[in-house]
Amino acid sequence: MRDTLSSRATFVMKFVFPTIWIVGFGATSFAALRAQPGLASGAPHRVAGAWVITGVWLVCSIVLLWFCAPLKRIRMRDGRLLASNYRTEIEIRPSDIDRVTQNKWVNVRPITLHLRAPAALGSRITFIPPSHVILAFGQSDRLVAGLRAFADAGQQATAEPDTVPRSAS
């Protein structure tokens, strides 16, 4: 597997894009509300349009934050998986991973590591894999298979009991 498993665009998708979109669209919404002369002027459709823009801005901002805020940077170093939110970095052992899933319906196809127990970054670690042309809709990326093999190796290592053979006496 590669050293950095997450996309180079993770920082932009987590911090830059939401900030620009929310501030830019919010400023437009605020300007539309401030420019309205009010209902007394006989233009209620303009006031309603400004409130629709504001509503769309609020809903889209919530969805954008719901998707972008949990994104993490994932690296593989010396057989260890490292997850970072750009402030804190944790190590994820293979035995910590319960399952690996991928959302195939979102264009960036985020991958989520579901952990057995909550860690410092939460119980789910979501990241965007490096982009590539996807010709087979509905199929998981090769990276998902590699992470599942990584997790399965940890499952098998912890499932084997550390027993010492007994002598027959």
When pLDDT is cut at 50, 70 and 90, the band that residue 41 belongs to is low
Q: Does position 42 have pLDDT exceeding 70, yes or no?
A: no
127 vs 118: CA distance, rounded Å: 17
Average pLDDT of the chain to the nearest whole number: 85
Query: The whole model's pTM is what?
Result: 0.79
Query: Residues 84-129: pLDDT tens digits?
Result: 999 999 999 999 999 999 998 888 899 999 999 999 999 999 999 9
Element spanning 145, H or E: helix 142-159
Q: Taking Cα atoms as reference points, which of 151, 146, 145, 143 lies closest to residue 93?
A: 151
131-158 average pLDDT score: 77
DSSP per-residue codes, 41-103:
GT-HHHHHHHHHHHHHHHHHHHHHHHHHTTB-EEEEETTEEEEE-SS-EEEE-GGGEEEEEE-
92 CB neighbour count, 10 Å cutoff: 20
